[in-house]
Amino acid sequence: MKVLFAATALACLSVAHAQPLTELQSVADSALTESGAPAAGVAWVTRAGERSVAVAGVRSLDAPDQVTSDDLWHLGSNTKAMTATLAARLVEAGVIDWDTTLGEALSDLGLEIRAEFGPATLADLLHHRSGLPANLGRFSTIRFLGSDDSRDVQEDRLRYAEIILAQEPAQPRGAFVYSNAGYVIAALMMEQAAGQPYETLMREEVFSPLGMDSAGWGPPGEVGANDQPRGHGAGLFGGLSAREPDERADNPPVLNSAGRAHMTLDDVLDFLQAHLAAEDGPYLSARSWETLHRPVGEEAYAMGWGVTSEGALGHSGSNTMWLIRARINPVQGRAAAAVVNDGRIQQMSPVLGDALTHMLEAETP
């Protein structure tokens, strides 16, 4: 059985201003045509909350149903910025600290933790600087396969930690290694500190307060229903193949915190607007927003965001069957996202980048 990994590439960023609402459908139509994906969606929002969403195409190559503006899209590794936002909420509540170490947070679990990993902090994990490997090996990952309904994801996180924390470091602590495993361990640390499952904490501290009511985990929709867009990957003999939303259509649930959220584009905009506004309370303090957005090292990676020298934020996410790219430009007060239900990353990514540029390019004075 094929094992998936969240393919992640930091989005190319640019200075941004929004195009008029009337032009947005043409951006979605162009993204659909130029990408060759079954469906495409585009969306933008201003700091003040003005927003628009447009979609084009079909939910599945196997059926004629058109996508709608209320459909759900898989976010892949763009989930990471949401996990980091949860961490900021818990830090402000006094549940955990940015400098809480892995060894301290997991001390009651009876795990055998390599000495190199013990001093890694929550902030290290969210910055991809803990020294942890990028992922479990393929054969170790297979034992976690299953659907969201069939797995005990809390137990899986513990078993995952047992394996990954016994492996040799990929790099010394402080060196950058983009690590899905690090975000799994960060989720385990937070749920141990808070006494609640990561998924519950996300609902109570991120999704609900920000109005992201459609948010969920794994591939959206019901098997056989064609009720939501399907992810598409390479077929056995080439071309594209629609994937029913079963355990083969996503990474294992243990990777929720690293890249398995889904939601509507409107709810993606709710999240982007919160980071764009970065208001000093009541949701988070200015200090917490600054911590989340501050880049570290020559890679200029913040907590779930790549950062340009001008301070623009961006990220991409894919589980090899979907792709999303998002950008936030605080200086210009605009944010945007572009998505396809097609995992051909090399082909899709430039098209989504063009769509973002069309939505965010500077207006003529």
pLDDT per residue over 118-160, tens digit each? 999 999 999 999 999 999 998 999 999 999 999 999 999 999 9
CA distances from 97 to 83, 193, 200, 287, 361 (A): 15, 10, 19, 14, 39
Is the residue at 344 inside a domain?
yes
Query: So what's the pLDDT on residue 296?
Result: 97
Name the percent of the chain lying above pLDDT 70. 93
138 occurs within a structural domain: yes
212 secondary structure, DSSP code:
-
Question: Do both 39 and 129 map to the same domain?
Answer: no
Q: Is the same domain home to 121 and 179? A: yes
For residue 151, give its domain range. Answer: 85-200
The token pair that represents 67 in the structure block: 């996508």
| Number of domain units in the chain | 2
From the number of C-beta atoms within 10 Å of its C-beta (0-12, 13-18, 19+), residue 239 rates as exposed
Q: Which residue matches tokens 């509507």? A: 264
Note whether 322 and 242 are within 8 A (CB). no
Residue 206 lies in a domain: no
pTM: 0.93
Helix (H) or strand (E) holding 328: strand 323-329
> Within 13 Å and on the Cβ side, how many CA atoms surround 238?
0
- Could you tell me the two tokens for 188? 């385990």
Band (pLDDT 50/70/90 cuts) for residue 362 is very low
Is residue 51 domain-shared with residue 161, that is, in the same domain?
Answer: no
Domain membership of residue 2 (yes or no) is: no
From 158, 176, 200, the end of a domain falls on: 200
Judge whether 73 lies within some domain. yes
Together in a domain, 342 and 251 = yes
3-state secondary structure of 78: helix
Longest dimension (CA), the chain: 63
Q: Is the separation of the CB atoms in 322 and 339 below 8 Å? A: yes
pLDDT score of 16: 34
- Domain end (from 200, 232, 250): 200
Which two tokens mark 345? 């990353």
Q: What is the pLDDT of residue 237?
A: 73
280/293 same-domain check:
yes
* Sign of the four-CA dihedral 73, 43, 352, 329: negative
Q: Identify whether the C-beta of residue 112 lies closer than 8 Å to the C-beta of residue 139.
A: no
- Average model confidence (pLDDT) across the chain: 93
**Are 132 and 41 found together in one domain?**
no
Instruction: Tell me, rounded to whole angstroms, the distance of Cα 157 from its chain centroid.
Output: 18
**DSSP code of residue 317:** E
Residues 50 and 155 in one domain: no
Check whether residue 98 and residue 136 sit in a common domain.
Answer: yes
CATH code where residue 122 lies: 3.40.710.10
What mean pLDDT comes out for the span 259-285?
Answer: 97
Which residue's entry shows tokens 């951006």?
27
pLDDT of residue 238: 75
Q: Are residues 105 and 243 in the same domain?
A: no
Asked if 196 and 236 sit in the same domain, the reply is no
pLDDT score for 22: 54
**Does a structural domain hold residue 269?**
yes
> Residue 48 in 3-state DSSP?
coil
d(C-alpha 55, C-alpha 60), whole Å: 14
Same domain, yes or no, for 245 and 141?
A: no
For residue 345, what are the contacts with CB-CB under 8 A and spacing of at least 6? 7, 9, 318, 320, 323
Is 85's pLDDT higher than 60?
Answer: yes
Examine the domain organization and report whether 226 and 353 are in the same domain. Answer: yes
pLDDT > 60? residue 30: yes
Distance CA 90, CA 191 (A): 10
User: What is the pLDDT, as a whole number, of residue 160?
Assistant: 98
Task: Please say which residue of 143, 170, 200 terminates a domain.
Answer: 200
For residues 261-277, give the mean pLDDT: 98
Read off the pLDDT band of 4 (50, 70, 90).
low
Q: How does strand 240-243 pair with strand 51-60?
A: unpaired
SS3 call for 322: coil
Query: What SS3 class is residue 12?
Result: coil
Determine the Cα–Cα distance for residues 148 and 301; give it in Å rounded to an integer: 30
DSSP symbol at 224? T
Whether residue 350 is preceded by a cis peptide bond, meaning omega within 30 degrees of 0, is no
- Residue bearing tokens 């600087």: 129
Is 208 a domain residue?
no
Q: Is residue 365 part of a domain?
A: no
